[in-house]
Homo-oligomer: A and B are copies of this chain.
Amino acid sequence: MSQIPDFSEKTPLLPAIAQDFASGQVLMLAYMNRESWEQTLATGEATYFSRSRGKLWKKGEQSGHVQRVREIYVDCDADTILLRVEQVGAAACHQGYESCFFRKLDQGAVTIVGKRVFDPDQVYDDKDS
């Protein structure tokens, strides 16, 4: 029986989906290692592992837009995590949108359909958070 979730040498990083607890909107996908998972459990706020920066990344550490974890699910293979969260600040995306999935594709055309909540230049020194 594998661990739940199944962090291993082969899969030290697992994808974690954040879904808005109230609306059901899928907000973002990021990655967790065991340490970020344990921090998430301990604090009740989502902490991921930033692949680009190679370190733990507490969501909202710069912007204040933390994610309060309301429910946690693990999939059948124990290699994907689903967090149902309360998104503080109403925006999960570092580009200022409610959801990172603000671009819709249709017949090859890309349309921005998401709602922009803030201007990133007013919130971040750099692009991460």
Tell me the complex Cα distance, A39–B93, Å: 29
Cβ-defined partner of A4 (8 Å) among B19, B95, B110: B110
Q: Indicate with 1 or 0, residue by residue over A94-129, a CB within 8 angstroms of chain B CB atoms.
A: 110100111111100010010000000000000000
Closest Cβ of chain B: how far from A6's Cβ, in Å? 12
Q: Is residue A63 contacting chain B, with contact meaning CB distance below 8 A?
A: no
The complex is assembled from copies of this chain, and their number is 2
**Chain A interface residue number, banded:** 20 to 34
Which residues of A from 23 to 76 have beta carbons under 8 Å from B?
23-26, 28-29, 71-76
Residues from chain B with Cβ under 8 Å of A80 in the complex? 29, 100-101
Tell me the complex Cα distance, A102–B28, Å: 20
B73 near A104: Cβ-Cβ < 8 Å = yes
Tell me the complex Cα distance, A74–B74, Å: 23
Residues from chain B with Cβ under 8 Å of A73 in the complex? 101-105, 113
Name 6 A/B residue pairs within 8 A (Cβ), A-sorted. A15-B15, A17-B29, A29-B75, A73-B101, A73-B105, A75-B103
Residues of A near any B CB (own CB < 8 A): 4, 15, 17, 19, 23-26, 28-29, 71-77, 80, 82, 93-95, 97, 100-106, 110, 113
